[in-house]
Amino acid sequence: MIPQRFVTEYPERCSQLLAMLEPQARKHDLIGSFALLVASAAFTIPFARMTEKQHPAGKPEAALLAAIEALKKAPFVKAPFWKSANPGFFRYAKIVTNPEKPSGWKDAAGAHPLKSTEEKDGNTVLRTIRHALAHGNVVYLDENGHEVPGNTVRYLAFLSKHESGDGHRVAIFDEESFLSFLKAWITWLQEFPPEHTFKFAEAAA
């Protein structure tokens, strides 16, 4: 069935698929990869519809755009989509070392981002995740924060080049926390009543 309101109905359909497929992902120990699969659809695509003012499908709905902008006023872990819960594990940092070597990631204070205590607003974190997903800058990390082939995945790191050109933003979740974020995000979107009907439109060639 063609959705009447893509920006919310499509994520809700992704939620249905998530519920059907999550048990299989857990059975095969693929929860991190499964979460990334869901995120590419249920987060990246709606986020573009919600925030890109020149999107070919039309302007964003005012209430959804305002809600995303309002996330600049509070830390990510206190964003409204979390309700009364918090992510089990989340870290944010600006790394100033080589992004291609996770074991050597350091912030300005010389700490690995897994040990970071920095808080960042929800808007910035969402955009960091979006940019990382859109450009393939997602890194699997083991329990020590290293990218070692064959080791068990413990964390998912989302990298985005800092707008100053100096260093990279990184948002890190454990697998369960990132999946929890996606579920909370999808539920939150359903709270916004439609303002107008979105119709699919392809970008001009």
Which range is least confidently modeled, 153-162, 180-189, 196-205?
196-205
Q: Two tokens at 10?
A: 């499509």
Average pLDDT, the chain: 87
- Taking the CA atoms of residue 44, residue 15, residue 184 and residue 88 in that order, the dihedral angle to the nearest 10 degrees is -90
pLDDT of residue 193: 72
pLDDT of residue 87: 86
Other CB atoms within 10 A of residue 170 CB: 26
Residue 201 pLDDT more than 60? no
Q: Write down the pTM of the prediction.
A: 0.86
* Mean pLDDT along residues 110-117: 93
Which range is least confidently modeled, 68-72, 179-183, 194-198?
194-198
pLDDT of residue 60: 73
pLDDT of residue 55: 64
pLDDT of residue 14: 79
Computed on alpha carbons and rounded to an integer, the radius of gyration of the chain in Å comes to: 17
Please answer whether residues 32 and 140 qualify as being in contact, where contact means their C-beta atoms are separated by less than 8 angstroms. Answer: yes
The top-scoring range by mean pLDDT among 45-49, 86-90, 154-158, 187-191 is: 154-158
The dihedral sign for the CA sequence 107, 161, 117, 101? negative
Residue 149 pLDDT more than 90? yes
